[in-house]
Structures are given as structure tokens and as C-alpha cells.
């Protein structure tokens, strides 16, 4: 257990559904990340939040909407997804640059299937 | 933004051989370079990291080297074992953004 928890672990949704992925950490980290992992592009950075502010949006389609209400929680809201969005979505957290220990810890991921 | 290139994509070695994985990065502002190991069905986990003020770091059978001028860094695994088989990712951190390479699948045959 790394201290980063993601729910749900598995999700099957239709293209017209709306769902949310949740990530939670109580490690005192101030940076949180969403990554998409698929066969085509392993560990593709989607969003970065530092101190609850979005600092990176890596050209992600608007059907993915992140939310960071506080430094311990990160959400990824999903709507009108496409089958090619099926992948493993990984959340990670770290202390961010400038700290002596910058290790990023990953959650176990949410396996998303869009049908 | 940062761009990290990683080679090779697949590496097969015999048990006991050494394995080397190489990465390059584009942004000179990056100053932290971790390596992650991901076993099948599991989350990526940190195995070693290096900061830009250090040229080399070693931890038992694993070592990492960094050439800031050339913007490249490498992972070296000596005396490989079957349990080293996994996907290895390099990464570069610029401010709080952590960008990964595309990964190297290492296969160690007994």
C-alpha cells in the first residue's frame, strides 16, 4: 500500500454515461497527477495539480474534467467518452519539485472500459 | 513542455547479464530524474532516482548516470535476475510536472 487510494478499481461505462474517478492521499503531498496508461502510450500525463491549482493540461479532450477540491483529493469526471478512452487511469502524488524527497507514489489505478 | 525519449522499447537478456536503458530529456529546467519499475498488473514503483547536481548514484545492482550537458540519463542493472523482468520507465520532473518515457520491457531469461 503506497498511501494513494483510487476508486473504483474497475469501471464499465457507456458512451453516454457520466462517471467520476476518485483519488485520495494522506501523505501530505502537494502535487497530484492523472496519467492514462494504454498499450499505445504508456504513462501519458493528463493533468497536474500543484497546491490545488492546475499547472498542466496535456492537451486532454474536454470530455475529461479534473477537479482538485483540496490537497488530499483528486477527481476525474468523465462524460461522453469514446471506446478509445478505455485504459488504465493512474493517479499519483508527490511533494513536487523543490523538496528533498520528490518520489511520486501511484495508486493502483482504475481500469476503465467504454462500451 | 518536457519531452522524454526512452530506448530500447524491448530488451531481452540472459540471467547474469547487464542491462542498460537510456533516456533523453528536452527541458534544461528538469532537475529530478526517477526510474520506475512496473510489474504486470501492478502500479509503477520507484527503484532509484537522481538529481541534477549528481552525476551517478548506485544502489546494489542498480545504478543511474546523468549527463546534464547532453540531457541524457541511463539505468544500469548488473547481474540480472528473472525477477527483474518488468517494464521500466524513466521520468523527468520540471517544476511539479513529472513526464515519463514510453517504457522498456525487460525480459530476463533463466
Work out the mean pLDDT of chain B and round it to a whole number.
Answer: 95
pLDDT (0 to 100) of residue A87: 97
Residue range B72-100: mean pLDDT, rounded: 94
- Rg of chain B, C-alpha, whole Å: 13
Residues composing chain B: 110
In the predicted structure, residue A98 carries a pLDDT above the cut 70:
no
Do B1 and A56 lie within an 8 Å CB cutoff?
Answer: yes
Nearest to B72 by CA among B2, B1, B4: B4
Do B34 and A104 lie within an 8 Å CB cutoff?
Answer: yes
Q: Report residue B97's pLDDT band, with 50, 70 and 90 as the boundaries.
A: confident
Chain B touched by A115 (CB under 8 Å): no
Chain A touched by B34 (CB under 8 Å): yes
Question: What is the rounded distance in angstroms from the CA atom of residue B110 to the CA atom of residue B105?
Answer: 16
Do B98 and A103 lie within an 8 Å CB cutoff?
Answer: no
Q: How far is CA A99 from the centre of its chain?
A: 22
Nearest to A47 by CA among A26, A28, A21, A27: A21
Chain B touched by A107 (CB under 8 Å): yes
Work out the mean pLDDT of chain A and round it to a whole number.
Answer: 90
The per-residue b/e assignment along B55-83, b for 16 or more CB within 10 angstroms, e otherwise, is: eeeeeeebbbbbebeebbbbbbbeebeee
Amino acid at each position: 500500500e503506497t498511501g494513494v487510494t483510487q476508486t473504483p478499481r474497475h469501471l464499465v461505462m457507456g458512451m453516454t454515461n457520466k462517471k467520476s474517478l476518485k483519488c485520495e492521499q494522506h501523505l501530505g503531498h502537494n502535487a497530484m497527477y492523472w496519467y492514462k496508461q494504454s498499450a499505445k502510450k504508456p504513462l501519458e500525463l493528463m493533468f497536474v495539480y500543484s497546491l490545488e491549482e492546475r499547472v498542466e493540461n496535456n492537451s486532454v479532450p474536454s470530455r475529461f474534467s479534473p477537479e482538485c477540491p483540496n490537497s488530499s483529493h483528486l477527481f476525474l469526471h468523465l462524460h461522453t467518452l469514446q471506446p478509445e478512452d478505455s485504459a488504465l487511469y493512474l493517479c499519483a502524488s508527490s511533494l513536487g519539485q523543490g523538496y528533498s524527497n520528490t518520489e511520486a507514489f501511484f495508486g493502483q489505478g482504475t481500469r476503465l472500459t467504454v462500451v | 513542455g518536457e519531452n522524454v525519449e526512452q530506448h530500447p522499447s524491448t530488451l531481452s537478456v540472459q540471467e547474469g547479464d547487464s542491462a542498460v536503458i537510456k533516456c533523453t530529456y528536452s527541458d534544461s529546467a528538469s532537475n529530478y530524474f526517477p526510474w520506475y519499475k512496473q510489474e504486470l498488473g501492478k502500479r509503477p514503483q520507484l527503484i532509484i532516482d537522481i538529481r541534477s547536481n549528481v552525476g551517478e548514484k548506485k544502489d546494489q545492482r542498480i545504478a543511474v548516470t546523468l549527463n546534464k550537458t547532453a540531457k541524457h540519463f541511463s539505468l544500469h542493472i548488473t547481474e540480472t535476475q528473472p525477477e527483474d523482468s518488468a517494464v521500466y520507465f524513466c521520468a523527468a520532473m520540471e517544476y511539479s510536472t513529472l513526464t515519463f518515457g514510453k517504457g522498456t520491457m525487460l525480459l530476463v531469461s533463466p
